[in-house]
Structure 1
């Protein structure tokens, strides 16, 4: 990453700090200094996470005997031993029984076509009870798995919470998956029920969904029933009379149903994350894990609370979807679900949503901002964005130009960008910006409270000032309880390199001022002439060029340097990708990074392979370029971009 901008551009004032939920938690524990609070949070994990659950006001069906039990070793901590709790109960029931809270908005849904639906906490609770009864009617009980393959609709949230309510386990599937990808997940977790929709709208077009769901169910003998949400009321939607059941039929009994008193470590969600090799990894999350971590990260670090409206542009199949659900509801806030795309029907759609629904916390990816930037500042005009208090960002490293555009043009230098990085296996973040401290563009202030993170060299020794491997030294609430029915793969993935150290797979650099920068995934990292290099460092230089919109860098074998950089760039409309421009870009990298690190080749492509939540999939680029297997690519939003890489490489 380019290090040409070092000065903090945003700092909180004293009143902002004192109004933060994080500060009030510190004050409650007699701690005035944030650094002291952080050190105590990682020095005494049991104390910290117990204080968080108390401050959140979580309700237990049976008190826990012990906060943290490490007797099974570092990979397998037990949290809130012998306690009984239910995530759905803590999202809804404790608010519904409060007359001041039950009529607050829980969910605002906006469709691709502009239709809006809203649910209060009480209305959502009523629907969750009804669908929970419907699942029981289908024979779903404790420990049974249901898969949710739905667009971003309210029913998605209802199905998740209903499954958790009865002690079942839900598996969210990305709405853009094809049948094979869905079937892989259905078969791996042996899902008994598949919840889907007849279709959804995307950029004004009908996208059939039931057909793919049927193919996936046909490939998965474990699936007994397919529940169909009539999102579009398609008359031509296929019907399997033996297997299908209408969502509305299951919603007929709206009597209250008490939540199951599940053990604290009972799984409630299996969410899959793609691997570089082999089948997707089913990360297992428990009632006292993911919801608590999401609630802390959203509520205390991002400062989402009662009266706030959180809108994260994502899909329920990615971690940030469930994170938004539990992060908002556990804090008594409102979430916005959006079915459409950020630039349809016009490039101001996101800003319209912020204005219309009074969004206070907006989550975006750097890729989305790069895409919106190219339309120009005029699309911001006429929209009242004064409700915005915090931007959230995750998914990939920032480049300076889009970061500055979001901060300066959209936020008018008043709205901080809460940079956030972790993963599906984490239940949220390892690193984040700190809204109680100054923020430097593209950076993190460091590890989040409760996350004992470090950066180490190839021998596992701590390093500063150079790129190293991101590790975590202590357990945390939200840590995945392994991979579904594959504990060996889990231990090998995260715990096999150094004893008792979680190796996350990110390359990180900590500068002299203590700011942390992610330079890329460690499996994406280049090692050129003995120097370790994160792809984001090269990419930031390339996108600084006025002709370049996006860039991706991979490493390929080189007889002289061991490895060399090959870059793929997307140019602005109307720009000619000729040899002169290639030379300019190569020269720019050489001047700023050193001649030894200049790219071996630069290719111009129309698009880069991305997941729907905006991550550039560099391993897909590398596989296309080298002709090797890329592993699981089911999360790709635009498979045609892989072919574009292959064609450009062949030329």
Structure 2
């Protein structure tokens, strides 16, 4: 095979040059970028070693940059020692940054709390002393199951301060999901809350935690409970302890434990094709280095910026770009408990105005959902503080990109469309806002030190720009995952075995245009085989959303006795078209896709809906859509959905 043949690539023709004003003040200019890329190519050890020494504070300097003796189990800076929490907090205390806002938190009800770097250091030290009194030591695993509140960040940093390994479980996950993660890591302690607030509803976290711990013989000794909602909860005598009571007498000083650079910082679970989540293990030194570098390079972060990553702290985006990365570089971070449409569709834009946000990073699903509601909502607010926009989580279709650039950024803010994964630790392919001309829908070019390629089924590089294939990374980088927790064999099988350990296999399909820009077409398993033609779901979705009536679309395949797979599209209309005749619109959309891609890509079935089944992080659960398209009974866990009623509506 010569790769995944795409009948027609929806490559955006428009190119947006770098704004001269932005380029003049950018952390990286074109000459610096070119020099970094040359150094990474010619002297990788010197490249990474110098960056690690410049960016991080080491308790024990490393002497070896990369140990590849057990590849693909790579080890970075392995004879060096440091502490992640000290790099995020302590080293800022001897500078004016001590009195700068580290975290600004806004609750769903509008409550605002601010922590300077000095105050956050004090809170983290106090809670680290609480953990020590509860018997937590270096290497112990701690499960964190909390709402999006500052105490979640404090808990993570306190674990890092002691060298304990945290496993954050997103507060929207079910009791069963929490139980599975506790069992897999053998967590000694669980940190949770009485509940949380989401879209005006109370999420019963303590109740779910109790259900997760019902099985005899679980590993959890103690449960620390934060009082957030004030609701009555059951407290098991001898096991359950209130956060506020433990913190009353906690000392505000706690020495940071120096750990090996390869010591695991956290285990974070991501979905697996088998249905059993994979515990992705990230190191301390390499992960923190890549988090900090990408903050400087991609977000062009400045001391005066107010930076807002809308991701929940329970996801890798929240780990890297709402906590560790920004704190490592001394940034001011905005954290938000709620959702973008509560109490109304202006919440995001009101918060940008209220807090003077300058760098804004969110998911394409949020952009599309807000785009659907029209321009009047952002038009009510002053967004002039913004200077940079970003997207994360999945490819952004060109129409949503243009709306974001035009309506939110007023055509003056670069849009950094970032490609990365839980496994990569941070951005791998993304625009550098002072260097890279932008193409809507493309994550553009790899960052310095990252060497991707596109290969066919045999692992040979794909030639030409009209062919897609497997996206792979040819060289290791410091922020990469180290293994799957407790399962080295699964690490090898999932990420390396496909091409005999030659490349890291991302699992995404992509193509590269004549300018060397990368276009992510979706997961390899989201490629449809229609009458022998391989079609990426992403390009069909992009074709649908490019129609003026469509706000969002999701495409899946279902078995077809003649064509192999038939195409089913789930479509959300813009408000201005919800009253349109559906039969006419269906035919118009099928013809629109035919013209954009080719007749082979015309959806066999178009279903109009008000919502798509999304997780609380904004990702579309395409497995559920596939089951619905096939008329199958839903047997999967739907407790992670934002709105479970969506599945019932779609299945009618």
Q: Normalising to structure 2: TM-score of the pair?
A: 0.93
* Offset, 1:17: 2.9
Q: Which moved more, 1:300-309 or 1:80-89?
A: 300-309
Task: Decide whether aligned partners of structure 1 residues 381 and 584 sit closer, same or farther in structure 2, where only a CA change above 3 A counts.
Answer: closer
Distance between the aligned counterparts of 1:212 and 1:51, measured in 2? 46
* Offset, 1:518: 0.9
Query: For residues 58-69 of structure 1, what are the structure 2 equivalents within 5 Å?
Result: 58-69=56-67
* Offset, 1:630: 8.1
Distance between the aligned counterparts of 2:113 and 2:80, measured in 1? 37
Distance between the aligned counterparts of 2:634 and 2:34, measured in 1? 45
Task: Decide whether aligned partners of structure 1 residues 630 and 314 sit closer, same or farther in structure 2, where only a CA change above 3 A counts.
Answer: farther
Is the 1:61–1:261 contact (alpha carbons within 8 Å) kept by the matching residues of 2?
yes
Distance between the aligned counterparts of 1:361 and 1:231, measured in 2? 29
1:488 alignment partner in structure 2: 489
Q: Secondary structure at the match of 1:497?
A: helix
Task: Decide whether aligned partners of structure 1 residues 504 and 79 sit closer, same or farther in structure 2, where only a CA change above 3 A counts.
Answer: same
2:331 alignment partner in structure 1: 333
The CA RMSD measured in Å over matched residues stands at 2.0
1:417 alignment partner in structure 2: 415
Deviations 1:101-142 (A, max 9, x none): 211110000000100000000100000100000001001111
Query: For residues 409-558 of structure 1, what are the structure 2 equivalents within 5 Å?
Result: 409-435=407-433, 436-463=435-462, 464-465=464-465, 466-499=467-500, 500-558=502-560
Q: Secondary structure at the match of 2:62?
A: coil
Deviations 1:152-181 (A, max 9, x none): 111011000000110100011111111111
Is the 1:290–1:478 contact (alpha carbons within 8 Å) kept by the matching residues of 2?
yes
1:29 alignment partner in structure 2: none
1:390 to 388, 391, 409: 388
Distance between the aligned counterparts of 2:635 and 2:75, measured in 1? 35
Task: Decide whether aligned partners of structure 1 residues 546 and 575 sit closer, same or farther in structure 2, where only a CA change above 3 A counts.
Answer: farther
* Offset, 1:204: 2.7
* Offset, 1:571: 2.8
* Offset, 1:380: 2.1
Distance between the aligned counterparts of 2:32 and 2:130, measured in 1? 50
Task: Decide whether aligned partners of structure 1 residues 634 and 456 sit closer, same or farther in structure 2, where only a CA change above 3 A counts.
Answer: farther
2:5 alignment partner in structure 1: none
Q: Which moved more, 1:75-84 or 1:574-583?
A: 574-583
Task: Decide whether aligned partners of structure 1 residues 496 and 634 sit closer, same or farther in structure 2, where only a CA change above 3 A counts.
Answer: farther
2:567 alignment partner in structure 1: 565
Q: Which moved more, 1:2-11 or 1:479-488?
A: 2-11
Task: Decide whether aligned partners of structure 1 residues 208 and 562 sit closer, same or farther in structure 2, where only a CA change above 3 A counts.
Answer: closer
Distance between the aligned counterparts of 1:148 and 1:120, measured in 2? 23
User: Is 1:195 paired with 2:191?
Assistant: yes
Deviations 1:269-309 (A, max 9, x none): 00110112131100011111222211111122221232222
Task: Decide whether aligned partners of structure 1 residues 18 and 67 sit closer, same or farther in structure 2, where only a CA change above 3 A counts.
Answer: farther
User: Is 1:5 paired with 2:9?
Assistant: no
Deviations 1:407-444 (A, max 9, x none): 01111100011000111111012211221121111112
Distance between the aligned counterparts of 2:648 and 2:343, measured in 1? 28
Q: Secondary structure at the match of 2:255?
A: coil
Q: Secondary structure at the match of 1:430?
A: coil
Q: Secondary structure at the match of 1:194?
A: strand
* Offset, 1:597: 2.3
User: Is 1:222 paired with 2:219?
Assistant: yes
Q: Secondary structure at the match of 2:477?
A: coil
Distance between the aligned counterparts of 1:547 and 1:391, measured in 2? 25
Q: Which moved more, 1:345-354 or 1:621-630?
A: 621-630
Is the 1:577–1:604 contact (alpha carbons within 8 Å) kept by the matching residues of 2?
no
Is the 1:571–1:577 contact (alpha carbons within 8 Å) kept by the matching residues of 2?
no
Distance between the aligned counterparts of 2:510 and 2:639, measured in 1? 27
Q: Which moved more, 1:575-584 or 1:283-292?
A: 575-584
Task: Decide whether aligned partners of structure 1 residues 483 and 630 sit closer, same or farther in structure 2, where only a CA change above 3 A counts.
Answer: farther
Q: Which moved more, 1:567-576 or 1:154-163?
A: 567-576
Distance between the aligned counterparts of 1:3 and 1:599, measured in 2? 16
Distance between the aligned counterparts of 1:456 and 1:177, measured in 2? 36
Distance between the aligned counterparts of 2:541 and 2:17, measured in 1? 25
Deviations 1:74-95 (A, max 9, x none): x211110211111111000000
Distance between the aligned counterparts of 2:39 and 2:651, measured in 1? 51
Q: Secondary structure at the match of 1:422?
A: coil
Is the 1:295–1:330 contact (alpha carbons within 8 Å) kept by the matching residues of 2?
yes
User: Is 1:596 paired with 2:578?
Assistant: no
Distance between the aligned counterparts of 2:192 and 2:32, measured in 1? 49
User: Is 1:636 paired with 2:632?
Assistant: no
Task: Decide whether aligned partners of structure 1 residues 42 and 452 sit closer, same or farther in structure 2, where only a CA change above 3 A counts.
Answer: farther
Is the 2:559–2:565 contact (alpha carbons within 8 Å) kept by the matching residues of 1?
yes
Q: Normalising to structure 1: TM-score of the pair?
A: 0.94
1:179 to 151, 175, 179: 175
2:316 to 291, 316, 319: 319
Unaligned runs of 5+ in 1: 27-31
Distance between the aligned counterparts of 1:224 and 1:108, measured in 2? 33
Task: Decide whether aligned partners of structure 1 residues 635 and 318 sit closer, same or farther in structure 2, where only a CA change above 3 A counts.
Answer: farther
Is the 2:33–2:448 contact (alpha carbons within 8 Å) kept by the matching residues of 1?
no
Is the 2:12–2:441 contact (alpha carbons within 8 Å) kept by the matching residues of 1?
no
Task: Decide whether aligned partners of structure 1 residues 2 and 617 sit closer, same or farther in structure 2, where only a CA change above 3 A counts.
Answer: farther
Q: Which moved more, 1:597-606 or 1:478-487?
A: 597-606
Distance between the aligned counterparts of 1:268 and 1:206, measured in 2? 31
* Offset, 1:51: 2.5
2:590 to 570, 586, 589: 586
* Offset, 1:477: 0.7
Task: Decide whether aligned partners of structure 1 residues 45 and 550 sit closer, same or farther in structure 2, where only a CA change above 3 A counts.
Answer: same
Distance between the aligned counterparts of 1:485 and 1:305, measured in 2? 39
Q: Which moved more, 1:38-47 or 1:616-625?
A: 38-47
